[in-house]
Structure 1
Amino acid sequence: MTTLDLPAQTAQAKQGEQRPSAGTRLKLPLAASLEHRRLQCYMMLMLVDTLMIGASMIGVAQAQYGAVPPSVLRQLGLLLPFYVIAALAFNAYSISALTSARFSRNRALVSLLTAFGMLIFVAFFAKISDQISRASTGASFVGCAVVLMLARTWIQPLIRKLCGPTAQNVLILDDGGLPVRIPHAWHIDTRQHRLVPNRNDPHMLDRLAMFMTNMDRVLVSCPPERHMEWAMVLKGANITGELIDQSVVAMGVLGARRVNDTGSLVVSAGPLGIRGRAAKRAMDLAIAGSAVLFLAPLLLSVALLVYLEDRGPVFFKQQRQGRNNRLFWIYKFRSMRVAQLDSAGARSASKDDDRITRIGRFIRRTSIDELPQLLNVLRGDMSIVGPRPHALGSLAGTKRFWEVDPRYNQRHSLKPGLTGLAQVRGFRGATDTEADLSGRLQADLEYLDGWTIWRDVQIMFATFTVLVHDRAF
């Protein structure tokens, strides 16, 4: 956790309207993540819903028949999955359901009605409708509805206690634009904290990322001439980013949001939801963990050969930019002489590069030098598949990568990968011209737009065909 001196009246407390006084120290991140708490509340709501529906139907059957007939249990077995499917479709498990008891009750009731409708539909086509009592079904629906409404009402204070009144962390960055005040949001004056949307400064992007950590939404209020700069920064921040623009209210722009009387344009959103990230992370851990165990003899042998050649360090460590524009240290087997290591990556390796050692030339050509990045995957800095992270000093011709194309930082909305779509398409090696960057950037952006778990699997298999290549210097 980072601590900063906070000037007077630069940040507003999350839970109230009191502003810190001069000398207050600001701790980063500003707030704890609410993502897992929301997920816990969704699971809790789902569990409570199913328990209430089950208890109601069994109670009604017990009251009517003095016992629970097998037909009621079969109906319950169909009704519960129908209800969960309908509830997911009607947003009964959503942020609005966490923050509004009325919305939560209404969506649960609609989902219950839909589930009973689906049950009757299936019974009709299965020709077992004669086994369903109209009186019992009607009484079960009323009982389930009453108990479900009461349960949703009673559980709301607990949800509010766990997730807060908005169930979201909202950050407002005031960069000299329209004054905006949203209850329960963090308000930061960028000028007093020396925060600027400088895409050419990785350290500034890292500093901005620290303020945005654990935020669900970030709104920037700035003059129109700085909209593009902030938009480009937010697009690479793996977060829902918005630019305050009062004209949105008048024009009714699609893809915009209205907060009270203030309009904002939605300019970015993380490419993966929580389920996608969970699936991708599970796959990363399974593959990287298994690979480290399976390849342990190879890793130890290469490490020994690297050390014996010149008695230098085994690993080469370099700072690169990852998801949310955060800097991290990437690990590779050292392939260059110690005295000629280029930690900034300003000079790309060439075919006859005199800096490369004998063992280094072999491990670079076979991509073995990249294997220590499995440790980065296990640490959570990287993924198996994703845009490859580039050295901060990398040049395309005479320009930094982010100077060639303003879309470059959008690559940082996902974790960087050991391999990616650009690599399997052959976009590897030195970037001697700006055109050398264009193809791989386009492939990376295509990967971001069309992510699926199956595409990751396809890229992994395709990677085996390009492990040995003539662009590895």
Structure 2
Amino acid sequence: MNTINPNTEFTKAVEASKASSSSPDTAAKGLNPLALEVARQFRTDTLSAVLVAGAVRIVEMVLLAVCGLGIYLVHVGYEPETAPGYLFAIAGSSLLTVIALGMARCYEMPALRNPLPNIGRIFLVWAGTFAFITVALFFLKISSEFSRVWLASWFVAGFVVMMVLRAIVAHLTRRWARNGRMERRAVIVGGGAPAESLIRQIEAHPYNDIRICGIFDDRDDVRSPRVVAGYPKLGNTDELIEFARVARIDMLIVTLPITAEARVLQMLRKLWVLPIDIRLSAHTNHLRFRPRTYSYIGDVPMLDVFDRPISDWDRVAKRAFDIVFSLLGIIVFSPVMLITAIAIKLDSPGPVIFKQKRYGFNNEIIEVWKFRSMYTDQCDPAARKLVTKDDPRVTRVGRFIRKSSIDELPQFFNVLGGTLSMVGPRPHALSAKANNQLYNEVVDGYFARHRVKPGVTGWAQINGWRGETDSEEKIQKRVEFDLYYIENWSLLFDLKILLLTPFRLLSKNAY
């Protein structure tokens, strides 16, 4: 199991925090020196166990198919009359084997880390697949068309291939677990005896991938000790939000009892804006629900409160979607971008591209590219003053490209670089205001829209909520539509928004 060694990691963090106690970075993040130093230790991303298991499935299926095909080509040779039957048998057997191994729980992380106890199950699944194929060929009255030597050779070679693959995967996963590349990083919310009990139960599970990063609690040191089971209390829940902005955290585990309803709700109102899983520990509760109600960390039951939006394979699919459509957009609109660049240069002096700092995923500061639409000496990178109708700061070319959204086209390169998505909540400038108030001052839970990567276009934009935000209602509506998008995301939803965008671009709100 991957947890911080309280005698080493904690000590190092304390020593490092003393050295950086006067660092301006600490003040900027609103964290105490110890919490900031611990957060810095977890800034790198980790490998998802779900993605690793999925990749093993794909690789195993491909290797089995290649093995069967290779033996067929070497022993039987390609024959147009029999090739379709062999290819169907190879593809079907490989797919059926992977499905059956999944049902036998052979792709779960304990089985991948330690394959030896599962050799029997893997052999039975592989043998069962061949028995099924053999029976199917017999009843279809085509078994005589298939080489028995090929079938026997593939059975032996395929099993050896699976064993070799799983030995390699076991070595890699154990190494990744040791060096922290594959783990789920968790923060415990709420200290004292419940937190200590939870930690002990998690540590007792031998194949746990949870790494506990620290404890946060709003109570003082008298009611909530500074160190619980060797793990430090790093701050309160307000500091936890800042901590999760710095560190790559996967999960928050709330140890408060369900009976403390008011405290739980108050805490969740603060924490739901974070793009992480939030679980309510049920290990000390006497009230018990059906087993399917819970998710589990090892043997510890958890109630799922919030799930991270767009994670694991959904995240991979969305990134592939972004790469494909950003490249397509760059190719299709390259003539428009070239003409626009020339027009901007001829219209007013200054750079063609305007770079602006904006809020990105998880409140990270990103740099967004746009075609410059204002006079260079009147540009407002922080967006302290909204652009209004007939704004004198906007150039002649700028009025047209802002109205038609051509000024946004360079953001295809942001998407390709990974700071933006094709579809998502629009990124707002750091000092953007509605009715002279910062957006997060107007809308409670405004930063929840940053639980996903911001987009070039979005659900709010195609529904008319784009451009000037001169009233509180306009930014509230934007956030409302953004949150609806996050809760209902799918690739088809993204495609729908993308296809509707060109028809909804001309808006009276964009100046």
TM-score for both structures, normalised by structure 2? 0.69
Counterpart secondary structure, 1:428:
coil
Task: Tell whether 2:71 aligns with 1:35.
Answer: no
The reply to whether residue 23 of structure 1 matches residue 12 of structure 2 is no
- Determine which of 65, 75, 79 is the counterpart of 2:93: 79
Q: CA deviation at 1:340?
A: 4.6
Within-5 A mapping of 1:179-328 = 179-180=195-196, 181=199, 182-183=202-203, 185-190=211-216, 197-198=237-238, 207-211=243-247, 213=248, 215-220=249-254, 227-228=264-265, 231=268, 235-244=272-281, 248=285, 250-252=287-289, 256-259=294-297, 264-328=302-366
Match of 1:365 among 397, 403, 420: 403
- The one-letter code sitting in structure 2 at the alignment partner of 1:18 is N
- Alpha-carbon displacement from aligned partner over 1:48-90 (angstroms, at most 9, x marks no partner): 577579979999x9xxxxx879899564443112212333455
Which residues of 2 match residues 421-460 of structure 1 at below 5 A?
Answer: 421-460=459-498
Residue 225 of structure 2 corresponds to none
Q: Deviations over 1:270-308 (max 9, x none)?
A: 333433323322232233234335544543443454455
Residue pair 1:323, 1:416 contacting (<8 A) in 2 also: yes
**d(CA) in 1 for partners of 2:375 and 2:66?**
69
What is the aligned partner in structure 1 of residue 31 from structure 2?
none
Deviation of the 1:380 alpha carbon: 0.4
Residue 162 of structure 1 aligns to which amino acid in structure 2?
A: R
User: Is the 8 Å Cα contact of residues 108 and 148 (structure 1) preserved in structure 2?
Assistant: no
- Aligned with 2:174 (options 133, 138, 161): 161
- 1:423 is displaced (CA, Å) by 1.6
User: Partners of 1:249 and 1:119 in 2: how far apart?
Assistant: 50
- Give the 3 Å change call, closer, same or farther, for CA 265–34 of structure 1 in structure 2: same
For residues 109-141 of structure 1, the C-alpha deviation after alignment (integer angstroms, 9 at most, x for no partner) is 67547645763675477454788999x99x999
Q: Are the structure 2 counterparts of residues 343 and 53 from structure 1 closer, same or farther at C-alpha, using a change threshold of 3 Å?
A: closer
Change (3 A) 1:363 1:143: closer
The 8 Å contact of residues 243 and 265 in structure 1, kept in 2 or not, is answered as yes
Contact 2:126–2:159, Cα closer than 8 Å, also in 1: no
What SS is found at the alignment partner of 1:185? Answer: strand
User: In structure 1, what is the Cα distance between the partners aligned to 2:159 and 2:118?
Assistant: 14
Cα distance change on mapping 1:321 and 1:469 into 2, 3 Å: same
Q: Which amino acid aligns with 2:287?
A: A
Q: Which residue of 1 aligns with 2:30?
A: none
- Shift in Å, 1:315: 3.5
Aligned sequence identity (%): 28
In 2, the alpha carbon distance for the partners of 1:273 and 1:106 equals 33
1:233/1:409 contact within 8 Å kept: no
Secondary structure in structure 2 of the residue aligned to 1:209: helix
Give unmatched runs, 5+ long, in structure 1: 1-11, 62-66
CA distance in 1, matches of 2:103, 2:280: 30
Say if 1:13 and 1:98 are closer, same or farther in 2 by CA, change over 3 A: closer
Contact 1:57 1:144 in 2 (8 A): no
Helix, strand or coil: the match of 1:241?
strand
Alpha-carbon contact 1:206-1:326 (below 8 Å) kept: no
- Secondary structure in structure 1 of the residue aligned to 2:253: strand
Measure the CA separation in 2 of the matches of 1:190 and 1:160: 30
Q: 1:414 and 1:465, CA in 2 relative to 1: closer, same or farther beyond 3 A?
A: same
Instruction: For residues 205-254 of structure 1, give each alpha carbon's deviation from its aligned partner in whole angstroms, at most 9, with x where no partner exists.
Output: 5652221x2x4434355796664465456544433233446555633386
Preserved contact between residue 96 and residue 103 of structure 1 (Cα < 8 Å): no
Helix, strand or coil at the partner of 2:496: helix
Pick the aligned partner of 1:392 from 416, 430, 433: 430
What SS does the aligned partner of 2:15 have? coil
Over residues 390-438 of structure 1, what are the superposed CA-to-partner deviations in whole Å (9 max), with x where a residue is unaligned? 2333445565444555454332232111111222222222334443234
In 1, Cα distance between the equivalents of 2:62 and 2:325?
Answer: 35
| Counterpart AA for 2:246 | M
**Range with bigger deviation, 325-334 or 270-279:** 270-279
Residues paired across the two proteins, number: 449
The correspondence for 2:106, drawn from 88, 92, 97, is 92
Equivalent residue for 1:5?
Answer: none
**For residues 444 and 111 of structure 1, do their structure 2 counterparts lie closer, same or farther at Cα, with a shift above 3 Å needed?**
farther
**CA RMSD across the alignment:** 4.6
Which AA in structure 2 matches 1:238? P
Runs (5+) with no aligned partner, structure 2 = 18-36, 204-209, 218-231
Shift of 1:465: 0.6
Q: CA deviation at 1:373?
A: 1.4
C-alpha displacement of 1:383: 1.0
How far has the Cα of 1:444 moved from its partner? 2.5
The residue identity in structure 2 corresponding to 1:239 is I
> How far apart are the structure 2 equivalents of 1:194 and 1:398?
35
- Confirm whether residue 171 of structure 1 aligns to residue 186 of structure 2: yes
Structure 1 residues 121 and 332 mapped into 2: Cα distance closer, same or farther (>3 Å)? Answer: farther
- The superposition leaves residues 11-41 of structure 1 with CA deviations (integer Å, 9 ceiling, x where unpaired) of x984645333241464725275442787456
Give the counterpart of 2:370 among 320, 323, 332. 332
Are 2:462 and 2:505, in contact at CA under 8 Å, matched by a contact in 1? no
Whichever residue aligns with residue 188 of structure 1, its letter is G
Determine the C-alpha separation between the residues in 1 that align with 2:365 and 2:94: 46
Match of 2:393 in 1: 355
One-letter amino acid matched to 1:359:
V
